Structure 1
Amino acid sequence: MVYAPKIIRTAVAAMFFVAGLCFASWASRIATIQQKLNLSDAALGGVLFALPVGLMISLPLSGWAVTKIGSRKVLAAAISTYGLMLVTLGAVTEVYQLVLCLILFGISSNAANISVNTQAVATEGLYSKPIMASFHGVWSLAGFVGASIGTFMIGKGVLPAPHFAIIAAITIITVIVSWRYLHNDHTPASTGPAFVMPDKSLITLGLIAFCSMVVEGAMFDWSVIYFKKIILAEKGWIGAGYTACMCTMASGRFVADRFAARFGLRRTLQVSGTLSAIGLLIAVLFPSLLTAIIGFMFVGAGISSVVPMVYSAAGKSTTMQPGAAIAAVSTIAFIGFLIGPPVIGFLAGAFTLRASFSFLAVMAVAVVVLSTKAKV
C-alpha cells in the first residue's frame, strides 16, 4: 500500500525523535550512574570511550546491513535495540558491564543513525523541496525533551533503570506504530556491492562534514570551559554559551530546508560555514559575556544544517547506494567529532584556549572553501 508523503514523513520523524530521546536520556543520567558505580572523573572518561568504540565498529557494518537488508528492517531492529540497551545501562552494577553495554549502545546508535538518514533521503525524494534538516531538528528537539524528563526523574529520585524502561517502552511502541509507514527499500536493486570506494565528490562531502563536526564536537565539550576560564562568567552563566549554541542549532535545522530550497545546497553550506567562523571570531576577539553568547549563537546556527545537508547530498550519490554513501560520509564526519575535543585540549595546552578556538574558526572557513568546490 502506498501512503501519503506526509504520513511517511511523520513516521520517519518519529524515528528521529525516539533516537534523540534515547541518547538524551542516557546523557541526562551519566552523573547518577557515575555515583552509583563510584567512578572518578578520570575513570568515567575512560569508560565513556566505549561509546565511540561501538560507533566506529558499527560504521562499516551499518552501511552493509542497510544495503543488503534494507533501511526499514535495520532501523526497526536498531532503534528497538537502542531502547533495550538503554535499560541495561540503567541496570548495570559493575564497571565491565557498563563498558560492554556502552559498546552495544554505540553500535545500535550508529545503525539507527545510518538507517534513519537513509529513510530520510528516500522521504525527501517524495517532495520537491529539501526536508532533511527538519528531521535533524526533530532529533534536537527530542534532546531537549529527554534532558527535561531526565531532570524531572532526578528531582523525583527515580532510579535510572525504571526511567530508562519508560523511554524504552515509548521507543518500541513508536517503532511498532511507525513500521508500516516506513519505506520498504529492500529491492533487487539493493543487492549490489555494499563496499565501494567513495568517489571524489563523496570524499569532499565527508570533509565538509568533518570540519563542521570538529567544531560541533568542540562546542559540546569545551563551551562551558571557555565561558569559565576565558569569559570568567559567574557560576550561573557558565553554561550560557552551550545553551545558546544548542538552541540556535536546533532552531536552525527547522529553517535550513527553506533556505536551501531558495538558495541551493552549496550556498547553504557556504553560509553555514561563514556563520560559524564569524561566531567563533566574535567569541575569541571580544571575550565578554554578551558578545560570547552572541558568538556561540552564530556557531550553533552555522553547524545546524551542515550534516543534514551533507547526508542529503550523499544519499543522492550516483556511484553508491544511499545507505553505503551515508555510512562513508558519516565515517569521515565522525572522525572529526572524535578528534575535535582532544585537539582543542592539545592546542589549549600548547598555546591558549582562545588560540584553540581560533583553530575552530579555520575549520569553519574550510567548510566554506570545500563547499565552493563540492559538486552539490
Structure 2
Amino acid sequence: MTPTDVKRKQLWRTRIAVSAFFFLTGLCFSSWGSRVADIQLKLGLDEAGLGLILLAIPAGSALSLPIAGWLINRQGSSRILSAACLLYALLLPLIGLSASILLLVIALFFFGFVGNIGNIAVNTQAVSVEQLFGKTIMSSFHAIWSLAGLAGASIGNLMVNLHLQPMNHFMIIALAAIVIWATNAHATVKTHTPVKGKQPFFVKPDKTLIGLGIIAFCCMISEGTMYDWSTVYFARAIEAPPGLVPLGFQAFTLATTTGRFTGDWLAHRYGINKILTVSGILTASGLLMSALFPHIITAVIGFFLVGLGVSAVIPLVYSEAGRSKTMSPSMALAAVTTLGFFGFLLGPPLIGFIAHASGLRTSFAVVAVMGLMITVLARRKNVA
C-alpha cells in the first residue's frame, strides 16, 4: 500500500467517524421524539402542559449557544464532541426514568444543552473534514443525521408495538450510542489546536456571517413549520382520512434525506450560490402549492418540494460559515446557529398565531415568503 493509499484510507476513516457521530446524535434525538406521547400519558399531561415542558429542550439549547463556540475554542472540537455525545447518550435513559414533571424538565433541559454543544462540535469537525478532502461534503453528513432520524423513528415504532417502556427503549439506544462513541472517538480530527488565554463568549459576526445566519433563520422557520404543522395541516386544512394524515410529513422527510445525499454533488457542480437560490424557490413553491391547492396529491407534492428546498440549505450555510476569514469555525458556526435557532423557535408559534387569525392556508402562504428570502439573500454576492 502506497503512502497515498494510506492517507486516503485515513481520510475516509475520519469521515466515517464524524458521520458516525452525526448518526449518534440523530438517533438519540429521534428516539426521544418517538416516545413523547408515551411519556405524556405516563405523567398525565394535557397538550398545554406538554407544550410548556417541551420548551425545556430549546431553552437548554439556547443557553448553550454562547458557550459552545467558546468551549470548543478552548478545548478543541474533538474533545468536546466526545464528551457531549457520551453525555447525550447517557441523558436519554434519565428522560425515561423521570417520574415527575420537574425531573423531566431538568432532564430535557440538559438534553437540549448538551445536544446543541454536540451539534456545533460535530459540525466543526465536519468543516475540518471538508478542508482535508478539499471539497464540499457537509450535506452528506447531514444526510446521515436524517437517516438516523428515520431509523430512530422506525425503532421507536417497533418498541411501541412491542409494548416496551420508554426507559427500556432508551437504555437500548444509549448502549448502541455508547458503542458508536467508543469505536469512533479516536478517529475524529485532532489537528485543531485549542485556543489558549482569555476568549470572549461573544464575537460580533461580520456582514457575511449575518447574511448566512438570516438564510438559516428563513430556512429553519420553513423546516420547523413542516416538523410541527404538517400533520395538523393534513388533518384540518385538507381534511385527509386519518390513515393519510402522516403522508405529507413522510414526503417531506423523504425529500429532505434525498436532497442531502445529492446536495454535495450539486453544490460542487453548480456552486453553493445557485443551489441556495434554487432551494429558496423550491421551498416557496412547495408552501404556496400546498396553500393554494389544499388537496392530498398537491399537498404531498408541495411538501416534497419543501423538503428538497430546505434539505441542503443548513449544510451549505454551515460549510460557508466554517470557512470564515474573521472567526474560528466553532465561533462562526455558533453565530450562524444562533440566528437560525430563533427561526426554529419562532416559526411554529408564528404559524399558530396566523392560523388562529386567518387559517392554516394563510399561515403557510406567509411562510413561503421565507423561502423567497433565501433566494434573495443567496443572490447577494456578500452572502454566499
User: What TM-score comes out, normalization by structure 2 length?
Assistant: 0.95
1:160-204 Cα offsets, whole Å, 9 max, x none, are: 112111111111221121112101144165767453210010000
> Aligned pairs, how many?
376
Match 2:365 to one of 345, 349, 358: 358
- Helix, strand or coil for the counterpart of 1:126? helix
Which residue does the alignment assign to 2:3?
none
Alignment of 1:213-252 (within 5 A): 213-252=220-259
Q: Which residue of 2 aligns with 1:27?
A: 33
- 2:383 aligned partner: 375
For the 8 Å contact 1:69–1:186, the answer to whether it is kept is no
Counterpart amino acid of residue 131 in structure 2: G
- Describe the SS at the equivalent of 1:198: coil
Aligned amino acid, residue 54 of structure 1 = G
Counterpart among 99, 107, 117 of residue 111 in structure 1: 117
1:279/1:295 contact within 8 Å kept = yes
Query: Aligned pair in 2 of structure 1 residues 188, 286: CA closer, same or farther (>3 Å)?
Result: closer
- 1:346 pairs, out of 353, 357, 375, with 353
Give me the identity figure in percent. 47
| CA offset digits 1:326-350 (Å, max 9, x no partner) | 0000000000001001001111112
Residue 58 of structure 2 is aligned with which of 32, 37, 52? 52
Q: Partners in 2 of 1:40 and 1:232 — Cα distance?
A: 24
Q: Distance in 1 between matches of 2:310 and 2:45?
A: 33
Unmatched 5+ residue regions in structure 2?
1-5
Equivalent pair of 1:91/1:161 in contact (CA under 8 Å): yes
- Separation in 2, partners of 1:71, 1:128: 19
Change (3 A) 1:295 1:188: closer
State how 1:198-209 maps to structure 2 within 5 Å: 198-209=205-216
CA distance in 1 between partners of 2:189 and 2:43 (Å)? 42
Find the residue that maps to 2:132 and give its secondary structure. Answer: coil
Bigger drift between 117-126 and 173-182 goes to: 173-182
Question: Is the Cα–Cα contact under 8 Å of residues 66 and 334 in structure 2 kept in the other structure?
Answer: yes
Alignment pair present for 1:63 and 2:69: yes
The one-character-per-residue Cα deviations of 1:109-158 (angstroms, maximum 9, x if unpaired) are 10110000000000011123211001000000000111111111111111
Q: Give secondary structure in 1 for the equivalent of 2:379.
A: helix
| Contact 1:314 1:329 (8 Å CA) reproduced | yes
Tell me what 1:135 maps to: 141
Q: Aligned partners of 1:185, 1:112: CA distance in 2, in Å?
A: 18
Match of 1:16 in 2: 22
Query: Which whole-Å CA distance do the structure 2 matches of 1:184 and 1:251 have between them?
Result: 31
Q: How do 1:79-158 and structure 2 match up within 5 A? A: 79-158=85-164
How far apart are the structure 2 equivalents of 1:285 and 1:157?
41
Distance 1:189 1:67 in 2: 5
Q: Distance in 2 between matches of 1:188 and 1:95?
A: 39
Between 69-78 and 174-183, the greater mean CA deviation after superposition: 174-183
Does the 8 Å CA contact 2:351/2:364 hold for their aligned counterparts? yes
Per the alignment, residue 336 of structure 1 pairs with 343
Note if 1:279 corresponds to 2:286.
yes
In the superposition, relative to structure 1, how do residues 111 and 188 fare at CA in structure 2: closer, same or farther (>3 Å)? closer
Structure-to-structure mapping, 1:279-358, within 5 angstroms: 279-358=286-365
Give the whole-Å Cα distance in 1 for the aligned partners of 2:266 and 2:133. Answer: 15
Q: Which moved more, 1:264-273 or 1:161-170?
A: 161-170
Pick one of 74, 84, 87 that aligns with 1:78: 84
Q: CA RMSD in A?
A: 1.4
* CA deviations over 1:213-263 (Å, ceiling 9, x no partner): 000111111111111122121111111111101110111100010000001
Contact 1:20/1:139 (8 A) holds in 2: yes
State the alpha-carbon separation in 1 of the partners of residues 145 and 243 from structure 2. 27
- Residue type of the partner of 2:331? A
Structure 1 unaligned regions, length at least 5: none
Amino acid in the other structure paired with 2:383: K
Q: CA 1:331/1:158 → structure 2, altered by over 3 Å: closer, same or farther?
A: same
Counterparts of 2:191 and 2:152, CA distance in 1? 30
Supply the distance in 1 between the matched residues of 2:128 and 2:146 (Cα, whole angstroms). 21
CA contact (8 A) 1:72 1:185 kept: no
The AA in structure 2 aligned to 1:208 is I
Give the conservation status (yes or no) of the 8 Å contact 2:73–2:194.
Answer: no
Q: Is the 8 A contact 1:70 1:190 kept in 2?
A: no
